[in-house]
Amino acid sequence: MRRIEHWIDGGVFAGGGQRVGPVWDPAAGTQQAEVALGTPAEVAAAVSSAQAAFPGWRATPLSRRAEILFAFRELLHARRDEVAAVVTSEHGKTLPDALGEVSRGLENVEFACGIPQLLKGEFSEQVSNGVDVFSIRQPLGVVAGITPFNFPVMVPLWMLSGAIACGNTFVLKPSEKDPSASLWLAAALGEAGLPPGVLNVVHGDREAVEALIGSPEVAAVSFVGSTPIARSIYETATRAGKRVQALGGAKNHMVVLPDAEIDLAADAAVSAGYGSAGERCMAVSVVVAVGRVADPLVDAIAARLPKLRVGPGTAPDSEMGPLVTAEHRDKVASYLDSGRSAGAELVVDGRSHDLPAGGFYLGPSLFDRVEPTMDVYRDEIFGPVLCVVRVGTYEDALRLVNDNAYGNGTAIFTRDGGAARRFQFDCQVGMVGINVPIPVPVASYSFGGWKDSLFGDTHMYGPDGVRFYTRSKVVTSRWPDPSSSRVDLGFPVTR
Ligand code: NAD
């Protein structure tokens, strides 16, 4: 069985750990490799490599850092098909979807290429006689990133592009379910000129994560994953005095007002609900149908689902691939029974879809007349299951969105600009789409939810990323005017 190893100090690192995890081919339903699950010793090796690389990297001129990031950007762009194929083979998403993920990650690299501009401080001249005050932003040291399975290229790039641009060194612990993309990134960054030790990758599960966040040398932790783990990592790492941003799960609501264009809203619900098999933190999982829009909207969504082609991510006509593991597919499918037992109407059952044999497939499912007390409403299902909740008014829809524990993304579909503006003002959610179903901010903004979708106070990437990965220092300096100098400067000074 092929074994996937760590990447430490600029190369593949075969540690001594005996534990391994399976890496599946979700389209075939077979195991394709095993991944080394890091031990505390391997985590220590990665952290000490990052610690040793820090003084040199921190002193590397901004222009050189930007040059390496530009070179990496070119490699990633030129070889995007290659890395997308790596993603599809372990995650299962379709190749166009994997390419979309690479493009979003590229945006973060491009943003980081502007680091000479982004790290500019402030300067106040002559705050007192001969006194100037200025601020500078300095890197934190060794920082850690822990990432989920659903975006194995994009989420690591959200973190590491900004972190290393700011002068930190980085230890990445990617998802053990699809570990190869992170090695691809590390090798490409090395080829682009990144010195050994600036980026290290340790694979693993809970044991590696606990060792990493328990390392005194790790100054900050960025986490993206499910809410219970995000909360626990935030609590543990902040207690140890670390800076933490921990992004959690989601239950994104798409509100459809009675004046919305039905076909536009139905297309948006289908692409945002079932794209990437619903395994996106910005997937729409609840459609809130306001008033008379409910019947035509449910009909329009249901009519689209039998046409959705489910198949291997590599097949040119597939629109939705398999789920990441058999275990996850079975858990998602279990909601189809529990939702029906709780009284929701299962309009489309994905188990009856035309599905290929072998892989971890589940077709798209649609529930109507879902109530907020039901598990299918409350839990993050993270699969191709869309729930429709019918409400009477805009106020009811808003209450539903705001009462939900999660606050990652939301969207409103309407032709009324005033209603949309009021929604953007009223909703307690971090990212809002107006006639846009997956409102992922571009790289020059920052990404993050509210409530149980984010623990910490900075969002990820963009300007917040620069703030998170640096600390500010303020310098107050006094230089008396040379004309008053009692020392012979060797040159004439006049005022
Ligand atoms: P997960 O929480 O199971 O795993 C995330 C990371 O934590 C992985 O690296 C994993 O190895 C590690 N981990 C798992 N269990 C752990 C434990 N007990 N202790 C310490 N570390 C542990 O998440 P996942 O299934 O890989 O990804 C899906 C989840 O991520 C969903 O909840 C999704 O909403 C969320 N997500 C959120 C965002 C966001 O921006 N808010 C983005 C992508 C994914």
pLDDT digits (tens, 9 = 90+) for 339-397: 999 999 999 999 999 999 999 999 999 999 999 999 999 999 999 999 999 999 999 99
Atom of ligand 1 nearest to the CA of 173: 9
Helix boundaries (H) for 427-469: 462-468
Structure tokens at 394: 């805009």
Residue 281 known to be catalytic: yes
Ligand 1 atom 42, closest CA: 281
| Predicted pLDDT at 481 | 83
- Measured in Å, residue 188 CA sits from the centre of ligand 1 at 25
Helix axes 95-112, 154-165, angle to 10 degrees: 10
Task: Give the model's pLDDT for residue 1.
Answer: 93
Cα-to-centroid distance, 249 and ligand 1 (Å): 8
Q: Which of 166, 281, 387, 427 is catalytic?
A: 281
Do the beta carbons of residue 184 and residue 86 sit within 8 Å? yes
| Helix, strand or coil, per DSSP, at residue 101 | helix
Distance CA 40, CA 122 (A): 41
Q: Find tokens 């997308």 and name the residue.
A: 84
> Is residue 379 a contact partner of residue 223, using CB atoms and an 8 Å limit?
no
- Please check whether the domain covering 252-434 is classified as CATH 3.40.309.10: yes
Q: What is the spatial distance between Cα 19 and Cα 14, in angstroms, rounded to a whole number?
A: 12
Q: From 281, 282, 452, give the residue whose CB has the most ligand 1 atoms within 8 Å, as the site to mutate.
A: 281
Distance 231 CA to ligand 1 centre (A): 11
Q: What angle do CA 266, 268, 252 make, to 5 degrees?
A: 110
Q: What confidence tens digit (pLDDT) does each residue in 209-224 have?
A: 999 999 999 999 999 9
User: For residue 395, which of 216, 268, 303, 257 has the smallest C-alpha distance?
Assistant: 257
Token pair, residue 442, equals: 């571009």
Nearest-atom index, ligand 1, CA of 324: 25
- Rounded to whole angstroms, the Cα distance separating 366 from 273 reads 10
pLDDT number for residue 326? 98
Instruction: Please identify, by atom number, the ligand 1 atom nearest to the C-alpha of residue 228.
Output: 2
What are the per-10-residue average pLDDT scores of the chain (495 residues)? 97 92 98 98 98 98 98 98 98 98 98 98 96 98 98 98 98 98 98 98 98 98 98 98 98 98 98 98 98 98 98 98 98 98 98 97 98 98 98 98 98 98 98 96 97 98 98 96 78 72
pLDDT computed for residue 495 by the predictor: 58
- Ligand 1 atom closest to the CA of 460, numbered from 1: 40
Query: What would the pLDDT profile of 416-441 be if each residue is shown by its tens digit?
Result: 999 999 999 999 999 999 999 999 99
Q: How far is CA 248 from CA 77, 110, 324, in A?
A: 29, 25, 19
Nearest-CA residue for atom 16 of ligand 1: 206
| Cα 225 to Cα 228: distance, rounded to the nearest angstrom | 9
Q: Distance of CA 321 to CAs 313, 336, 469, Å?
A: 5, 19, 36
Cα–Cα distance for residue pair 440/52, rounded to 1 Å: 36
d(CA 487, CA 483): 10
Ligand 1 midpoint to CA 449 (Å): 15
| Topology (CATH level 3) of domain 3-248+453-476 | Aldehyde Dehydrogenase; Chain A, domain 1 (3.40.605)
**Which residue is closest in CA terms to ligand 1's atom 20?**
206
Domain boundaries, the chain: 3-248+453-476, 252-434
Nearest CA to ligand 1 atom 15: 206
Helix (H) or strand (E) holding 166: none
* Closest to 141 in 3D by CA, of 53, 245, 44: 53
Q: How many residues does the chain have?
A: 495
DSSP code at position 447: B
Q: What percent of the chain has pLDDT over 70?
A: 100
CA of 254 to the centre of ligand 1 (A): 23
Buried (b) or exposed (e) across 255-268, using 16+ Cβ within 10 A? bbbeebeeeebbeb
User: Rounded to an integer, what distance in angstroms lies between the CA atom of residue 466 and that of residue 118?
Assistant: 7
Dist. CA 455–CA 259, nearest whole Å: 36
Tokens 């529930």 correspond to: 367
Ligand 1 centroid to Cα of residue 286, in Å, is 21
What number does the ligand 1 atom closest to the CA of 233 have?
20
- Tally of CB atoms within 10 A around 415: 12
**Ligand 1, residues at Cβ distance < 6 Å:** 146-151, 155, 173, 175-176, 205-206, 209, 224-226, 229, 247-250, 281, 380, 382, 408, 449, 453
pLDDT of residue 301: 98
Using DSSP's 3-state secondary structure scheme, residue 230 falls into helix
